[in-house]
Amino acid sequence: MPDATHPYRRRAGAARRVLVVDDGTLIRIYYRKALERSGFGVDEAVNGIEAMEKLLSGHFDLVIVDINMPKMDGLSFLRALRAQPEIGSLPAIVTSTESAEHDRDAARAAGANFYLTKPVSEDSLVLHAAVLTGASA
Amino acid sequence: MTVLVEMDAIHLKGDCPVDEAEIVLQALLANPGLPVDWSECEGLHTAVLQVLMAARATLTGSPRDQFLRLRVAAALSSQAEA
Amino acid sequence: MTPLLRQFLDEGRGLIQEATRHLLVLEREGESREGTAIVFRAFHTLKGSSGLFEVGAMTRMLHVAEDLLAGIREGRTVIGAGLVDALLACLDQVGQWLDTLEASGELPDGADRDADSLISTLRSAAGLGGPAVRDGGSPAPQAGAADAGADFLAAFGEGERREALRLLREAGPGAGILAIRYEPRAGCFFDGDDPLELFRGLPGLAAFRIEAGSPWPVLEEFDPFSCSLVFRALAVGQEERVRNAFRLVSDQVRIVPLDLEMPEGPAVRKGTAVADAVIAEQVRLLHMPGCPRPEVAGRIGSAAAAVINVLLYEGRQDDVGAVEMAADEALAKADPRILSAAILRMAEHRRAEHRLAEGGASAASAPLTAAAGQDQDTVRTGAAQRVLRVDEARVDHLMRLVGEMAVAKNGLEWLVRSSGADDATVRRLQDLHGTLDRLTREMHGAVLRIRMLPLRQVFQSFPRLVRDLSNRLGKPVRLVLEGEDAEADKAIVEQLFEPVLHLVRNSLDHGVEAQEHRRTAGKPNEATLTLRGFQSRGQIIVEVEDDGRGIDAAAIRRRAVERGLLDAAAAAELTDEDAVQLVFAPGLTTAEAVSELSGRGVGMDAVRAAVEKTGGSVTVRSRPGQGTTVRLALPLTLSSVRILTVQAGGRRLGVPMDVVSQTIRLPRGQIRRVKEHEVFVLRDRVIPVVELSRLLGLESPVRSAGEDARLLVVEVDGRVAGVEVDGFAERLDAVLRPMDGLLSGIHGYLGTTLLGNGEVLLVLDLKEILR
């Protein structure tokens, strides 16, 4: 029970850090550029296992994770994340090329806080990241 | 010589003309998962770019060439299959 | 209706007004660089935004108008009355189309024909030849081009479009936004093509995308020399230059001019839309069934974090605490719904505030929004002023509820007095009643103020109208508007237009002299017509003043006698001031000629009727040889009164409900005589009975003993009375007109109201009657 740490309470003043989890290199580059241009700190992971390692070893405000990845896919990763006592409350955006409603439902069932359909425009990415991390408007 | 395969990455240097598409493709096939460092790339023929896209290559570094850095990198975002 | 269309309609109407106003200024004051630029800009933006919708005819026509304006700006074409007329006609047409678009979502059937006809009007007014040849010799834009452009546009995000607009603003004249789709032939590399290089050399590149034309094969089977890419781009510049850059591959490329014009506002609102969506998503997430136990805390925590971050993003720190508390409780009980309920409550609150803020950002034509000023300039300068857009019916509903509350409150007072409770309790209840009474009255006032609109709403139509009238009559007129910010109830403001229009027509037609007469009278050639608005003693005053010939009191007297309105002696006794008021009498006109504009004798009595219907009055002041001022005085609010209609002495009368605490039917046997008074007992209180017909000096009917008495229990100044009537009829909300004219000397009445069937209902002032 995370009563003392209040994981959903932001630490004031900390820079917003986003972990981008996607097996597509170009996508990661694109997300990184876009987010960095808007002042976010960005780290990357190519699959769920790497992502979990990074999340456990550093502070992040948001994770953006693709639904389809080798090794640990996005949804399995998300369920594992939500079950973590320390970092389970991290807001997560799930991305996928499918806009099908069942993907969206699957993401929600796995505990996603938002769902974006690829391709994600730079504006949309930055805006959603800003809203979900509480970056000042 | 503008395509160099080294231990850490496949390096694209200077201008990469159309005939190097085949070389880059072979390098990627021979070294699956090896990232492509394009920080010293100054020109990229469409054919070479297409190989990088098809291989879903991991691009590292930031090219000095403004067009590649600002336009091409961002333009690839719409490559939905990544 | 999509928000985008809503915005287009609102902004479109604003732009039409802006363009109209400045066209009139241009015509009056001659060409000015600045004025031309503003008009050009308005047409340009109209045309550009229209490209986002399937309104090919509108876009096409505006395109031609814009070209002409560009010509004026560059000194190729001279602006004259003919061209101003044509441009105004264009704006009228666009206005009509916007209405149709709003009603039906599309342009009317004949739109293309109308566009063609206006295009040729525009061209001939500008002294240009045939209908379809553009200045540059390039073909006229296709009706469907803009629609195709919108398709192209869909591929690009908001940020990319904005970048294109930014470049467009920086670009010189003649630049446009071009959407490019380039799908190179598979064998293009062997032709020596390098598509990427074409874009490298392209000036004004605003957005650029590279996509796979088909899914990639496995790498082993990939042919590196077969091109399967698709390039999309937005470029800003001269169409010819862009086409030139792709001339060698013109068979593989499509270039569509977009005329994309998007307001800068949406970015802010988009953030709000994202925030809305994120909040809604958290509620759905929390309601998602079947969450494995170990994930519950993470789910609750992440939803809380997401919502809190939205609040921080929006700077709503105040709401964070409530969400945190709910999240703590939800975590403790492992129940996500506790949090979702709190989020919904917070969202409600947040939405209400956003609605407030949003109104201020959009210059809308929706009636209540106009409180911020319909005028674009006012909206811009008054950005801090927050305006709420609400459905009028909701305000009316609120008003009715306040009315019902007042009635309930009256009932409470009665109950307190008759409850038989101890003094201390009664005092406390009375205090409470006093508070309720004050709050009810304040609420009433507050609701009335919601409905206030500035007179600008009415005045803004007149520059255009006066211009047209003045042209038609050949009388040059300068229009002066004063006090456009004065406010009155929406219903009053809206009802002002017709009467004011009548008065303006009358002034121009009859008041203002023909030019030669003005010259002989030593007056300036150009007449001055003033529309003036202000508040005075709880009324909204609108004056229409001209500097024309005034009204000939002698002629009015003569005419009134001829018409049999009064005899010669009575007419002679009237002062000039009183005599001129006779213009409001039905069927009296003084103009010697029957003019096309006002017709014979129509107008002034219609004005009076319209004004009196809303409880107002109209007076005229004439200064012979110097001008006429007609003054409309209307109530600030159409404060409707809840009225019970009753029968008494064979008449129908109105009684305001606010003094009536109840209506009862009583067996006549229960009315007793005590000394000379009739009384009855109601909840242990002895209450005197008075007969309404007798109070009013009317004949009272003979009552049979078996018939129930019908009583209004009325409380005035702490005294309770039973007022007997012959029957109760319906309850209604009525707008009271003060007792004036013939009735002004009669006491005992609050005023009159017009019933739906045209009958006039007298409304009693029971307080005065019973006192």
Instruction: Give tens-digit pLDDT for C96-133.
Output: 999 888 888 888 888 888 898 898 888 888 775 433 33
- Residue C278: its H or E element: helix C266-287
Find the mean pLDDT for residues C508-532. 91
3-state per-residue secondary structure call for C487-545:
EEEHHHHHHHHHHHHHHHHHHHHHHCCCHHHHHHCCCCCCEEEEEEEEEECCEEEEEEE
User: Is residue C338 included in any domain, yes or no?
Assistant: yes
* C471 and C617 inside one domain: yes
Place of tokens 């009384």: C679
Distance of CA A15 to the CA centre of its chain: 16
Selection from C367, C525, C519, C395 nearest residue C456 by Cα: C367
Q: Give the pLDDT of residue C528.
A: 94
Contact C216 B72 (CB under 8 A): no
Nearest chain C Cα to B21, which residue? C224
Whether the CB-CB separation of B58 and A25 falls below 8 Å is answered with yes
**Domain harbouring C44, CATH code:** 1.20.120.160
* C493 and C628 inside one domain: yes
Residue C672: band (very low, low, confident or very high) from pLDDT cuts 50, 70, 90: confident
* Among the partner residues A3, A111, A134, nearest to C313 by beta-carbon distance: A134
Q: Give the pLDDT of residue C246.
A: 87
Contact A108 C281 (CB under 8 A): yes
Tokens of C430: 């009375």
Selection from A34, A50, A41, A52 nearest residue A92 by Cα: A52
**Domain harbouring B24, CATH code:** 3.30.750
Q: Give the pLDDT of residue C628.
A: 92
Task: Kindly tell me if the per-residue pLDDT of C263 is higher than 50.
Answer: no
**Residue C770 is which amino acid?**
L
* Residue C676 touches chain B, beta carbons under 8 Å: no
Kindly list the residues from chain A whose CB atom is less than 8 angstroms away from the CB atom of residue B59. Answer: 25-26, 29
Find the mean pLDDT for residues C5-23. 84
Q: By percentage, how much of chain A surpasses pLDDT 70?
A: 85
Q: Give the pLDDT of residue C131.
A: 36
Nearest chain A Cα to B82, which residue? A24
Residue C301: band (very low, low, confident or very high) from pLDDT cuts 50, 70, 90: very high
Dihedral in degrees, nearest 10, Cα atoms C36, C40, C43, C47: 170
**Count of CA atoms in the C-beta half-sphere (13 A) of C594:** 4
**Residue C407 is which amino acid?**
V
Neighbours of A99 (CB within 10 A): 11
Residue of A6 and C575 predicted with greater confidence:
C575
Q: Give the pLDDT of residue C55.
A: 84
Contact B79 A26 (CB under 8 A): yes
Report chain A's mean pLDDT, rounded to a whole number. Answer: 83
Q: What is the DSSP string of B21-77?
A: HHHHHHHHHHSTT--EEEEEEEEE-HHHHHHHHHTT--EES--SSHIIIIIIHHHGG
Task: Kindly tell me if the per-residue pLDDT of C639 is higher than 80.
Answer: no
Task: Kindly tell me if the per-residue pLDDT of A54 is higher than 90.
Answer: yes
Strands, sheet with B36-44, edge to edge from the N-terminal-most edge strand: B3-5, B10-16, B36-44, B59-60
Whether the CB-CB separation of C273 and C267 falls below 8 Å is answered with no
- For C223-237, what is each residue's pLDDT tens digit? 888 899 999 888 888
Selection from C584, C577, C582 nearest residue C560 by Cα: C582
Task: Kindly tell me if the per-residue pLDDT of B50 is higher than 90.
Answer: yes
* Domain count for chain B: 1
Task: Kindly tell me if the per-residue pLDDT of C77 is higher than 80.
Answer: no
**Residue A117 is which amino acid?**
T
Burial of A137 (0-12, 13-18, 19+ CB in 10 A): middle
Residue C758: band (very low, low, confident or very high) from pLDDT cuts 50, 70, 90: low
Chain B residue set in contact with C, beta carbons under 8 Å: 18, 21-22, 24-25, 28-29, 44-47, 49-51, 53-56, 67, 71-72, 74-81
Q: Which residues is A84 bridged to in the sheet?
A: none
Kindly list the residues from chain B whose CB atom is less than 8 angstroms away from the CB atom of residue C222. Answer: 25, 51, 54-55
Min Cα distance A82 → chain B (Å) is 26
Counted residue by residue, chain C has a size of 771
* Residue A120 touches chain B, beta carbons under 8 Å: yes
Whether the CB-CB separation of A68 and A96 falls below 8 Å is answered with yes
Q: Kindly report the backbone phi and psi dihedral angles of residue B70, in degrees, each rounded to the nearest multiple of 5, phi listed first.
A: -90, -40
Contact B47 C205 (CB under 8 A): no
End-to-end CA distance of chain C: 58
Residue of C175 and B43 predicted with greater confidence:
B43
Contact C281 A83 (CB under 8 A): no
Min Cα distance B67 → chain A (Å) is 15
Q: Give the pLDDT of residue C627.
A: 92
Residue C173: band (very low, low, confident or very high) from pLDDT cuts 50, 70, 90: low
Alpha-carbon distance of C560 to C568, in angstroms, equals 9
Alpha-carbon dihedral sign for residues C551, C554, C559, C565: positive
Q: Give the pLDDT of residue A76.
A: 92
Alpha-carbon distance of A69 to C284, in angstroms, equals 25
User: Is residue C380 included in any domain, yes or no?
Assistant: no
Contact B53 A26 (CB under 8 A): yes
Task: Kindly tell me if the per-residue pLDDT of B4 is higher than 50.
Answer: yes
Tokens of C679: 């009384």
Contact C159 A123 (CB under 8 A): yes
Given the candidates 3.40.50.2300, 3.40.30.10, 3.20.20.150, 3.40.190.10, the CATH classification of the domain at A17-133 is 3.40.50.2300
- For C716-725, what is each residue's pLDDT tens digit? 777 888 999 9
Longest dimension (CA), chain A: 40
Whether the CB-CB separation of C97 and C107 falls below 8 Å is answered with yes
Which residues lie closer than 8 Å to C72 by C-beta, 6 or more apart?
A: C31, C36, C40, C78, C79, C83
Contact B79 A120 (CB under 8 A): no
Longest dimension (CA), chain C: 122
Task: Kindly tell me if the per-residue pLDDT of C707 is higher than 70.
Answer: yes
- Interface probe for C, chosen from A8, A40, A61, A108 (most Cβ of C below 10 Å), is A8
Selection from C127, C83, C99, C135 nearest residue C8 by Cα: C99
- For A79-127, what is each residue's pLDDT tens digit? 999 999 889 999 999 988 766 677 888 899 999 999 988 778 888 898 8
* Domain hosting residue C204, numbered range: 152-217+224-257
Task: Kindly tell me if the per-residue pLDDT of C483 is higher than 70.
Answer: yes
* Domain hosting residue B42, numbered range: 3-78
* C447 and C484 inside one domain: no
Helix (H, G, I), strand (E, B) or coil at C486: coil
Find the mean pLDDT for residues C4-33. 81
* Residue C746 touches chain A, beta carbons under 8 Å: no
Nearest chain B Cα to C233, which residue? B75
Tokens of C59: 């876009």
Alpha-carbon distance of C376 to C13, in angstroms, equals 10
Which residues lie closer than 8 Å to A69 by C-beta, 6 or more apart?
A: A21, A22, A23, A46, A47, A48, A77
Residue of C170 and C240 predicted with greater confidence:
C240
Alpha-carbon distance of C102 to C115, in angstroms, equals 19
Give the CA distances from residue C620 to residues C353, C484, C602, C607, in Å, rounded to whole numbers and listed in that order: 46, 21, 16, 12
Task: Kindly tell me if the per-residue pLDDT of C170 is higher than 70.
Answer: no
* Among the partner residues C274, C295, C331, nearest to A79 by beta-carbon distance: C295
* C600 and C482 inside one domain: yes
- Interface probe for B, chosen from A20, A22, A25 (most Cβ of B below 10 Å), is A25
Q: Which residues is B59 bridged to in the sheet?
A: B36
* Domain count for chain C: 6
Neighbours of C575 (CB within 10 A): 9
Contact A33 B74 (CB under 8 A): yes
Question: What stretches of C51-171 show up as alpha helix (H) in DSSP?
Answer: 56-73, 81-104, 111-125, 145-153, 158-170
Q: Give the pLDDT of residue C133.
A: 34
Contact A119 B58 (CB under 8 A): no
Task: Kindly tell me if the per-residue pLDDT of C562 is higher than 60.
Answer: yes
* Residue A70 touches chain B, beta carbons under 8 Å: no
Place of tokens 């240097």: B13
Contact B77 A122 (CB under 8 A): yes
Which residues lie closer than 8 Å to B5 by C-beta, 6 or more apart?
A: B11, B27, B30, B31, B34
* Residue A27 touches chain B, beta carbons under 8 Å: yes
Give contacts of C 213-252 with B, CB under 8 A: 215-217, 219-220, 222, 224-225, 227-229, 232
**Domain harbouring C596, CATH code:** 3.30.565.10
Report chain C's mean pLDDT, rounded to a whole number. Answer: 78
Q: What is the DSSP string of C600-652?
A: SS-SHHHHHHHHHHTT-EEEEEEETTTEEEEEEEEESS--EEEEEEEEETTEE
User: Is residue C20 included in any domain, yes or no?
Assistant: yes
Q: Kindly report the backbone phi and psi dihedral angles of residue C689, in degrees, each rounded to the nearest multiple of 5, phi listed first.
A: -110, 130
Residue C135: band (very low, low, confident or very high) from pLDDT cuts 50, 70, 90: very low
**Residue A7 is which amino acid?**
P
Helix (H, G, I), strand (E, B) or coil at C730: strand
Q: What angle do CA A33, A36, A39 make, to 5 degrees?
A: 155
User: Is residue C619 included in any domain, yes or no?
Assistant: yes
Contact B67 C200 (CB under 8 A): yes
Give the CA distances from residue C463 to residues A33, C590, C632, in Å, rounded to whole numbers and listed in that order: 54, 27, 20
* C762 and C721 inside one domain: yes
- Residue C731: its H or E element: strand C727-735
Contact C216 B81 (CB under 8 A): yes
Min Cα distance B75 → chain C (Å) is 4
Alpha-carbon distance of A44 to A23, in angstroms, equals 10
Find the mean pLDDT for residues C316-340. 86
Residue C547: band (very low, low, confident or very high) from pLDDT cuts 50, 70, 90: very high
Helix (H, G, I), strand (E, B) or coil at C312: helix
Q: How many CB pairs under 8 A join A and C?
A: 139
Task: Kindly tell me if the per-residue pLDDT of C594 is higher than 70.
Answer: no
Alpha-carbon distance of B15 to A90, in angstroms, equals 44
Which chains have 3+ CB pairs within 8 A of B? A, C
Nearest chain A Cα to B81, which residue? A97
Kindly list the residues from chain A whose CB atom is less than 8 angstroms away from the CB atom of residue B58. Answer: 25, 28
Neighbours of C563 (CB within 10 A): 15
* C297 and C343 inside one domain: yes
* C737 and C591 inside one domain: no
Tokens of C26: 């241009």
Residue C740: band (very low, low, confident or very high) from pLDDT cuts 50, 70, 90: low
Alpha-carbon distance of B34 to B14, in angstroms, equals 20
Task: Kindly tell me if the per-residue pLDDT of C689 is higher than 60.
Answer: yes
Kindly list the residues from chain B whose CB atom is less than 8 angstroms away from the CB atom of residue A116. Answer: none
* C499 and C629 inside one domain: yes
Q: What is the ipTM of this complex?
A: 0.93
Min Cα distance B21 → chain C (Å) is 6
Nearest chain C Cα to B65, which residue? C200
